[in-house]
Amino acid sequence: MSTRAVLNARDIAEAPIAAPNAARERIADDRAMLRAAAELSRDLHPHKPLIYWSDLLVSLVIGYGAMFVAATAGGPALGLAAGFVSALAIYRAVSFIHEIAHMKPGAVPGFRLGWNLLVGVPLFVPSFMYEDVHVHHHARTKYGTVEDPEYLPLALMKPWTLPMFVIVAALAPAGLMVRYGLLTPLSALIPTLRRHVIERYSGLVINPAYRRRMPEGRFRREWLLMEAGACLWALTLILLVVTAVIPLKAFLIPLAIISAATVINQVRTLVAHLWENEGDAMSVTAQYLDSVNVPPPALLPGLWAPVGLRYHALHHLLPSVPYHALGEAHRRIAAALEQGSIYHKASYGGLPGLLGQLARSTMVKR
């Protein structure tokens, strides 16, 4: 989930990029690591519906319940505490969009529909915004290139681009309401605008050079249904607020909570990769080393990198392994490969060190 929740990152990407580093040594694939990962995870591919549904529903009960408490709390302390709990739980629920993007049809019966009804449409992130987009981030020849929707050479950009990257994310929920409440109906009447909306404003991407392709066939029909639902919900919500049926406070507090969840995800995105590639195609091993695992014993990654995102590097080796099996896959591979192997070089201690490493990289004169 990448991250994952910025409507348009044009302002960031158009920031001046530092001069390129000296050419990096091309990293050949570590066949032993790739073989070990594949062989040790053969039995871990089945998705377990009970885990998916129970995890999602518990997250939503906590997230929406705490959101209600935050919106109706009489004091600021309770409101802030409930808002923080709600943001973390909502973030976890939304993160299942990443799993949906990788699922084969029928892997978890009804989950895609249920997630869209309970999360995607209400929060203006229907699954089509990640489906047929995220797959390019995993394409062997597209990762880290201009065709990768989820990659920017952030480590080579100016220092001020990092805070801007996060600030833009805070505005994403309001931007998504505009996208569905205004651009969707207008684009239905203006064909040229429609193409622009699909290419530029219909994906959870961070690379402004990426243009998504027009949907076709069954996926197009499903897209239109999801988009229509999000449009109707956006218009209804705006109408209820304008007519004071929903008090402004009861609208702004949930919006702030969703913005907080989006910011957490954007910070997580900052440390999902090392962001050091300058646009060349990379081997699978090079992609792995440019990605990040934050395995146990650290506990906090379970909150800021939920639903398997703490094993992001491993996920790039095994994209079809479900989130609930990544921990076991990591334990098996880490035990099978010696400590000095390439596999262990993608594991890091936690968020502060990774953010510091990225910030220091942007300050290097090139």
Residue 313: Cβ-neighbour burial (10 angstroms; 0-12, 13-18, 19+): buried
- Of all residues in the chain, the percent with pLDDT exceeding 70 is 93
pLDDT at residue 11 in the model = 39
pLDDT at residue 366 in the model = 66
pLDDT at residue 12 in the model = 37
Radius of gyration of the chain (CA): 20
Q: What angle do CA 113, 116, 117 make, to 5 degrees?
A: 85
For the chain, the structural domain boundaries read 10-48+126-362
What residue has token string 């973030």?
A: 91
Q: Which tokens go with 109? A: 């019966």
Q: How many other CB atoms are found less than 10 A from the CB of residue 186?
A: 11
Q: Are 124 and 234 in contact (CB under 8 A)?
A: yes
Kindly report the backbone phi and psi dihedral angles of residue 17, in degrees, each rounded to the nearest multiple of 5, phi listed first: -95, 135
Those residues of the chain that have pLDDT short of 50 are 1-25
Tell me the C-alpha distance between 322 and 341, whole Å: 24
Among 178, 181, 354, 175, residue whose Cα is nearest residue 269: 354
Q: What angle do CA 48, 90, 184 make, to 5 degrees?
A: 100
Among 1, 362, 310, 316, residue whose Cα is nearest residue 169: 1
The pTM assigned to this predicted structure is 0.92
Q: Which tokens go with 13? A: 């990407």
Tell me the C-alpha distance between 106 and 144, whole Å: 31
From start to end of the chain, where are the E strands? none
DSSP, residue by residue, 197-236: HHHHSSS--S-TT--PPPP-HHHHHHHHHHHHHHHHHHHH
In one letter, which amino acid is 102? H
Angstrom CA distances, 247 to 64, 170, 230, 238, stand at: 17, 22, 21, 11
Q: How many other CB atoms are found less than 10 A from the CB of residue 146?
A: 11
Among 305, 308, 235, residue whose Cα is nearest residue 271: 305
Angstrom CA distances, 285 to 27, 65, 86, 307, stand at: 7, 43, 37, 23
Helix, strand and coil content of the chain, in percent to the nearest 5, comes to: 60, 0, 40
Length of the chain: 366
